[in-house]
Amino acid sequence: MVKERVTVIDIARAAGVSKSTVSLVLQASPLVNETTRAKVNVVIRELGYVYNRGAANLRQSNAKSKIIGVVVNDLTNSFFAELAVGIDMVVQSAGYVQFLANTGESLDRQREVIASMREHGISGLILSPARGTEASDLKPLVAAGIPVVNVVRQVVGAKVSSLISDNQAGAHAAVTHLAGLGHRRIAFLGGFPDTAVFSERLQGYRDALIDAGLEASENLVIGSAPSRAGGVAAVERALSLAVQPTAALCFNDAVAFGACDGLRARRLEPGVDFAVVGFDDVIEAKTAVPALTTVSVDPQGMGRRTAQLLLKQINAGKADAEAIVGSVRLVIRQSCGSAADKRERLALI
């Protein structure tokens, strides 16, 4: 029942040529005669030959394994799921295959998984680093000449390329919009304060408040897990403040959805009684009710660009670290109140 492996030598024998010729056919080399090529291809199909990349890769130490490692910190977050899908698209059509692993923010897992991927000879790595990842964790990779692209989060001091979104500008735009709608007390909800992404978005939030002539009060910044449940918790804390905010920029869309849930639990209608703005623009943001106003990051597109960047580096051979900041744009939907609401609110003053 256990079939013997069909090798290039079996093909050669059956087709009456040498193994070298078969190898050339496999590589679609122009050196081989059309007739021979056809004959060999027929035999390949007949015998059900399966190319052994492991063996090939062993011989050509310089050449590439056609495997790309992808390590993300939270695949259950649909932002990352979509990112992975975007990566997969370009990786697949470039003839690569992706190792995808989830670390769940565990540094140990991340170490293990990267080590394992190295043993398998990945030709590049896309990493959305777990919290607390240090430059030294990536050192061996770059020393071995394996191109690495960080995505979403950066690792300070690591000499690798990165693709992150313009968190500061996005947050700034969102808060400016809220201020323009007449909101005076705008909260910042959710996210882990010890991440770079958090600081960047917070910075944009603060700058925008100042630019709008509003006071940046410390207790309007409420961290939480960057999840739906975290959003519920954060909005509850916000609503229990002495002076309640009337609007919030949320760390990401998951938090924003949670905030909407928390508002409803308090009989407040998001978009009417309280303005909510998210960050990321995950796929559900458009169809949710109310449709979520959010800073669009286009995770899938981001995944595609990341993969392209990595492939470029793999093909170039040498990797000059390149830091790309993807632009973002505010998508105004229903969750922050419409212009009509704004007029109403102004009329009340």
Partner DNA sequence: TGACAAAATTGGAACGTTCCAATTATTTTG
Partner DNA sequence: CAAAATAATTGGAACGTTCCAATTTTGTCA
Spatial CA neighbour of 22 closest among 6, 8, 4: 8
Nearer to a copy of itself, 38 or 289 (CB): 289
Non-local (6+) Cβ contacts of 250 within 8 A are 188, 189, 190, 231, 234, 256, 259, 276, 277, 278, 279
Q: Is the peptide bond before 270 cis (omega within 30 degrees of 0)?
A: no
Burial of 10 (0-12, 13-18, 19+ CB in 10 A): middle
Can residue 183 be called a binding residue for a copy of itself (CB under 8 A)?
no
Beta strand pairing call for 186-189 and 221-222: parallel
Can residue 26 be called a binding residue for a copy of itself (CB under 8 A)?
no
**Among positions 76, 136, 219, 315, the unique one binding a copy of itself when judged by CB under 8 A:** 76
Count how many Cα atoms sit within 13 Å of the Cα of residue 72 in the half-sphere of its side chain: 20
Can residue 146 be called a binding residue for DNA (CB under 7 A)?
no
Please, which of residues 17-36 interact with DNA by CB under 7 A?
17-21, 23-24, 26-27, 30-36
Nearer to a copy of itself, 52 or 244 (CB): 52
Residues 65, 191: Cα–Cα separation, whole Å: 37
**Among positions 32, 220, 288, 310, the unique one binding a copy of itself when judged by CB under 8 A:** 288
Nearer to a copy of itself, 121 or 301 (CB): 121
Please, which of residues 54-73 interact with DNA by CB under 7 A?
55-56, 58-61, 63
Residues 282, 292: Cα–Cα separation, whole Å: 10
The stretch among 123-131, 168-176, 243-251, 280-288 that binds a copy of itself (CB under 8 A) is 280-288
Name the packing angle between helices 19-26 and 8-15 (round to 10°): 110
Non-local (6+) Cβ contacts of 228 within 8 A are 254, 255, 257, 258, 261
Can residue 124 be called a binding residue for a copy of itself (CB under 8 A)?
no
Nearer to a copy of itself, 242 or 340 (CB): 340
Q: For binding to DNA (CB under 7 A), which residues are involved?
A: 5, 7-9, 17-21, 23-24, 26-27, 30-36, 49, 51-52, 55-56, 58-61, 63
Q: For binding to a copy of itself (CB under 8 A), which residues are involved?
A: 1-3, 5, 48, 50-55, 57-58, 61, 65-67, 75-76, 78, 81-82, 84-85, 88, 92, 95, 97-102, 104, 109, 112-113, 116-121, 140, 143-145, 228-229, 232, 257-258, 260-261, 264-265, 283-284, 287-289, 318
